[in-house]
Amino acid sequence: MKNLIQLCLVLMTMSISAQNNLKDGVAIQGYDPVAYFVEGKAVLGLKEIKTQYDNATYYFATDVNKEEFVKNPDKFVPQYGGYCAYGLSKGYKAPIDPKAFTIVEDKLYLNYSLDVKAEWMKQREERIVKANENWEKIKNK
């Protein structure tokens, strides 16, 4: 019974980890998720100011940003586990450039590059609908 419980915990962790685009357990390549909303730009967080959420470590540029995140993390975490929104609209997970971002209806979307972001923006609403559908199918893979 103990081994079965341990196996279930390992599988759950693997599933959650697959949902997040992480490097060494860090989300958004160390960029501050709150800064996208309050400063309108990508700001690198500090390793000293961090918190854990959904099996990922998030860094923040300020203590105030960390406090805001802790109050309501779902408001600030990027869509699709931090994978490229354009890639998800095409049905696959792709890495991101933290500087290639858009906020749509209070949600953070990241893209592979600024060029890919420009392409994504051409049909943004349609791509969000498709990415949402695809995310449900592939988020655990």
Q: Which of 5-19, 24-38, 44-58, 112-126 has the lowest mean pLDDT?
A: 5-19
DSSP element (H, E) containing 66: helix 63-71
Query: Helices (H) and strands (E) in the chain — how many of each?
Result: 7, 6
Amino acid at 58: Y
> What pLDDT score was predicted for residue 58?
98
Domain count, the chain: 1
Tell me the percentage of the chain whose pLDDT exceeds 90: 85
Other CB atoms within a 10 A radius of the CB of residue 45 amount to: 25
Q: How close are the terminal C-alpha atoms of the chain, in Å? A: 27
Q: What is the mean pLDDT of the chain?
A: 89
- Beta-bridge mates of residue 23: 26
Q: Is the per-residue pLDDT at 7 higher than 70?
A: no
Residue-number span of the structural domain to which 129 is assigned: 2-138
Q: Which of 8-12, 44-48, 84-88 has the lowest mean pLDDT?
A: 8-12
> What pLDDT score was predicted for residue 129?
97
Instruction: In whole angstroms, give the CA distance from residue 36 to residue 99.
Output: 9
pLDDT in tens, 50-107: 999 999 999 999 999 999 999 999 999 999 999 999 999 999 999 999 999 999 999 9
